[in-house]
Chain A
């Protein structure tokens, strides 16, 4: 079973920041938070991951609360091409093999 809770859907205006929340209240010390997205009819795409520090890459920023029970994915300037399902996934790096368990995700709709 997925260990995360996400809102089913969100809207965002084009050019504005999109902030996607994720709750993972049962996360353990070895577990990382991963974010993937899936644009319609395509395979999921990796966005970012983190353990406890905030992370940023060319696609997004990941903010993890100090108690690590929740996180927020930030797309700083959302475009129409960012409309997709966003998945927040918790994974134990001590478990061999990088297996991922996907939940329902959040449908992000970016509107002009």
Chain B
């Protein structure tokens, strides 16, 4: 069955280190999204992509970057991790247009010490 997977599921890192969270989907969806979830803030959009070579900033994009070199993957990079980036990160994907639903991964829990 088609699916969306995130890795790693749990990671602990130190302040200042570069971290990359992987997201891979097998539905051949053009649209992919990264959200972070923190207590008291709900889900907030970080970056999103509508296709290969397309990336867009969401509401909380500072300190994060994404690249889209193929349809299946949208890795999220924290260039220099900060304690404020300790969070649970969710990747999602959807079809190109219309009323299609978003399919979410199981999440990646990142702790920055």
Contact = CB atoms under 8 A, between A and B. Distances in A.
Interface of A: 32, 34, 36, 41-46, 49, 87, 93, 96-105
A32 B98 CA distance: 11
B104 A49 contact: no
A49 B101 CA distance: 9
Interface of B: 31, 33, 35, 42-45, 48, 50, 59, 90, 92, 94-107
Contact of B94 (A41, A43, A98, A101): A98
Given A49-B99, A100-B102, A43 B45 contact: no
A32 B99 CA distance: 8
A45 B44 CA distance: 16
Contacts of B105: 43
Contact of B101 (A46, A101, A104, A105): A46
A-B pairs, top 8 by smallest CB distance, nearest first, are A43-B104, A46-B101, A102-B43, A98-B94, A44-B104, A97-B50, A102-B42, A104-B42
**Most B-side CB within 10 Å, residue of A32, A43, A46, A104:** A43
A49 B98 CA distance: 12
Nearest to A99: B48
Contact of B98 (A45, A87, A93, A100): A93
B95 A43 contact: no
Nearest to B40: A104
Contacts of B31: 97-99
